[in-house]
Amino acid sequence: MYELFEPTPEHQQLRSMLRDFVEREVDPQALEHDRDEKFNLPLFRKLGELDLLGLTIPPELGGAGLDAVAVAIVHEELSAADPAFTLSYLAHSLLCVNNLYVNGNDEQRERLLPALASGEKIGGMCMSEPGAGTDVMGLRTTARERGDHFILNGSKMWITNGALNETELGDVFLVYARLEGAPRNAITMFIVEKGFEGFKLGQKIQDKMGMRASMTAELVFEDCVVPRDNIVGEIGSATLCMMRNLEIERLGLAAMSLGIARRSIEIMNRYASERESFGRPLREYGQIQKYIADSYAEYMAGRAYTYLTAGAMKLDQAGHRLDSDGVKLFCSAMGKNVADRAIQVLGGYGYTGEYNVERLYRDAKLLEIGGGTLEAHHKNMTRDLSRVDKIR
């Protein structure tokens, strides 16, 4: 069965390496950075030394050249310690690096990807807006052609890696905008870089419920000047790029929920053996047994679904929306529910930061919202299933 989760020796080595790295480097810093609402940039750049920031791009561009199964492994393992740190990783490695590699041209790849893969530059993607989150086609950021440049106006909200600290922007963003007068579904993708005229940091989003160590910000474009060479793909053709990249994003987010669930199960399982009540270990009580057993079964069901979907996914092809939505729909709710049960098993201790499940629970909630809400997955899946007569 475990060949599903680690189908090749390379995948096995990747998971083993990550477990060691997470235990040594990621876990010890997680609580402090959550409390301080700070992004751990030095630790992030260590992922570049491991070729993980360019996980899915070829070695000649600084990456590891790995597949969707590797994406699931990395996001599961990192999230078992620090989901917020992992969210910043996902925005950089999938929404920016993988997106640019799949959809960009050779000049754009060669100019930007090596620095992104090393961690010299930090990237993200700008899709959501103050009035257009799930309704991505309702975006209002506009682009106007002017000679060999385009002028962008508008703002993007909830952008992961939008800020690296209190005042500093991230470095490279893939920004979805609509040319003035273009139809609703004619979206164009632009590369916007720190230092471009008219590009600035807006509101930094603080005091979030969870994912506090992942920096979130509003990015503002006020007559932002973008060279024509920074158009990704063809003008008006980025809708397919957007939808294709959402598939791998949702797989990564589902895998993050797996990491949260696995760590929560480990914590409550250990606590139920060590803690006694009325002279008996907690694990001997039926209520506690139900929490632990249900959690493990649901985790393994979600894990099997996620890795089965990852094994079938091609990073440069669309066509996996039903199951990329499906794994995120199932796993995001599952991860939150498992973390909730872990808090219940630990009682008052679970409600404090000492045992980590309180932080994992807060982080888990975002996965039911970001990258597509549960309601959006319901809509997408029902629409896709309406075209299916029999399920294979």
Q: In angstroms, how far apart are the furthest CA atoms of the chain?
A: 80
φ, ψ at 129 (rounded to 5°): -130, 165
SS (H, E, C) 268-307: HHHHHHHCEECCEEHHHCHHHHHHHHHHHHHHHHHHHHHH
Q: Tell me the C-alpha distance between 144 and 372, whole Å.
A: 29
Nearest CA among 94, 142, 139, 133 for reference residue 116: 94
Residue 29 amino acid letter: Q
Q: Tell me the C-alpha distance between 80 and 23, whole Å.
A: 10
Q: Tell me the C-alpha distance between 344 and 289, whole Å.
A: 12
The answer to whether the CB of 284 falls within 8 A of the CB of 275 is no
Q: Pairing between strand 142-146 and 199-205? A: unpaired
The answer to whether the CB of 71 falls within 8 A of the CB of 56 is yes
The answer to whether the CB of 363 falls within 8 A of the CB of 84 is yes
Catalytic residues: 249
Residue 109 amino acid letter: R
Residue 86 amino acid letter: T
For 311, the token pair is: 């094994």
Q: Tell me the C-alpha distance between 76 and 296, whole Å.
A: 15
Q: Pairing between strand 276-277 and 199-205? A: unpaired
Cβ count within 10 A of residue 385: 11
For 224, the token pair is: 């932002």
Q: Tell me the C-alpha distance between 76 and 335, whole Å.
A: 11
Cβ count within 10 A of residue 147: 6
Q: Pairing between strand 231-232 and 188-193? A: antiparallel
357-366 and 27-36 are packed helices; what angle lies between their axes, rounded to 10 degrees?
70
